[in-house]
Amino acid sequence: MPLLKDVKTAARIVRNLVSSRRSRIELARRQPSLPKPKPHSIQIAVYFGDSAVNLYQIRQWYAPLAELAKTIPVAIISRSPGAALTMFDESPVPVVCLRSVAELEAFVAEQDLRLVFYVNQNSRNFQMFRYGRMLHVFINHGESDKMYMTTNQFKAYDYSFVAGEAARDRLRHRLWDFDLDHRTLMIGRPQADHFAGSLPYTPDDRTVVLYAPTWEGDRDSAAYGSVASHGEALVGALLATGTHRVLYRAHPRSGVIDPEFKRANEAIIASIAAANGRDSSAQHVFDDGPDLGWQLAAADVAITDISAMVYDRLATGKPLIVTRPVSAHAEIDESGYLGAAEWLSSSESSDIVSIVDRVQHDVEARHRLEFWVERHFGDTTPGEATRRFHAAIDRMFAIWEREASVHADDLRPRESDPFANDSDDAD
């Protein structure tokens, strides 16, 4: 077994190297023909140091960034050729690929950067943190009660934009010596103002159920994924009724670690295809597209794991079921919304049809949901979160202008970086 594991590891490394080389070759071919931001034109950058597998984190911000770009120049900085190649084709704002620290430094020197946004806690963020003549702001890629949401890494940023009071309470109880009132600004969920898109099916009288599980996780405390424990039974039960339409949106990392998880994911996808083959009017959907929003708004009921998807759905104010992890080691913070959530255990998965019907018509559950929507996101009136997001940016700009005037003598050419030749290629 150890030898087989070593062989598989070696094979994966070789595949990654080949893929990385292909990406770099394609980047070199395409980059010269792509439009580049003019010098001193970009004031806000979104830094994405991760590889293509985590593009879902930046995709969640595409629509709010496009809206922001109508008034303030913004660009995405990618450090990975593979991720950049995809974003070149789909991002609504300019994307620059800066593989080396030297390239990053040159871009910073020629632009008028005032704010840098971060959507994750990638270790490469620290290569951007070294620049002190701008504000570094964590905007995250979703609201959730995962342990990820209370990491001490919040202290690395000048400020953090959080969804609402629930997020601030989370940080207040977990972080020591953190000036919460000064360093966090509540903006709601700007993405919810853009939850629209063309439906890949024709609406009818079927009950639409979104099943959006997370991946298996890379440690016991974060083993929230339900594909292998709940997924096949609940999807199978819903497909069998003839009165439900299933929207299945698996996490893009599903099965990267656990073979059983991968098998279950593939089995669910196959079962959806088979159900559509038996009845073309069913129009069940396996969704792996880049756009997230229409699924959350269109579903009558959503089933998710403990992940940001819980709170993306919560922002719509519509019925929601959360799967309970089978791992006894999975950390669950039930002091917030999860303490009042509609839970689905693995043993109840085959009874999902009656559970879906109940949560749709339970008045008391509706009132609880309304309370937690307000707790996590504040005012969810359409357009309000976008207004708060832009107001928070205005406040950051005011702080930047104040500091720039105080330190005007320091705004001189930067010294070269001793590590400027490091490529640090994410692919």
Residue 353, φ and ψ in degrees, nearest 5: -60, -45
* 42-97: pLDDT as tens digits: 999 999 999 998 998 999 899 999 999 999 999 999 999 999 999 999 999 999 99
At position 427, the amino acid (one-letter code) is D
CA angle 331, 335, 338 (to 5 degrees): 70
Q: Which residues pair with 211 in a beta bridge?
A: 248, 303
At position 314, the amino acid (one-letter code) is L
CATH superfamily, region 207-377:
Glycogen Phosphorylase B; (3.40.50.2000)
> Under a CB-based contact definition with an 8 Å cutoff, are residues 286 and 248 in contact?
yes
CATH-assigned architecture of domain 20-188+384-410: 3-Layer(aba) Sandwich (3.40)
Confidence of residue 1 (pLDDT cuts 50, 70, 90): low
Spell out the domain ranges in the chain. 20-188+384-410, 207-377
> Under a CB-based contact definition with an 8 Å cutoff, are residues 350 and 237 in contact?
yes
- Out of 89-93, 219-223, 232-236, 416-420, least confident range: 416-420
Confidence of residue 413 (pLDDT cuts 50, 70, 90): very low
pTM for the predicted model, two decimal places = 0.76
Q: Is a pLDDT exceeding 60 seen at residue 261?
A: yes
Measured CA distances, 306 to 110, 147, 289, 398, 425 (Å): 42, 10, 21, 37, 31
Question: Higher model confidence: residue 95 or residue 31?
Answer: 95
Q: Which residue has the tokens 């002091």?
A: 335
Show the tokens assigned to 390.
């832009």
pLDDT at position 409 is 67
Q: For 3-8, what is the mean pLDDT? A: 54
Same fold, 20-188+384-410 and 207-377: yes
Over the chain, what is the mean pLDDT?
88
Q: What is the DSSP letter of 198?
A: -
CA distance 355 to 233: 14
Backbone φ/ψ region at 344: left (φ over 0), alpha (ψ -120 to 50), beta: beta
CA distance 318 to 337: 14
Question: Higher model confidence: residue 246 or residue 336?
Answer: 246
CA distance 160 to 412: 28
- Out of 140-149, 218-227, 352-361, 373-382, least confident range: 140-149
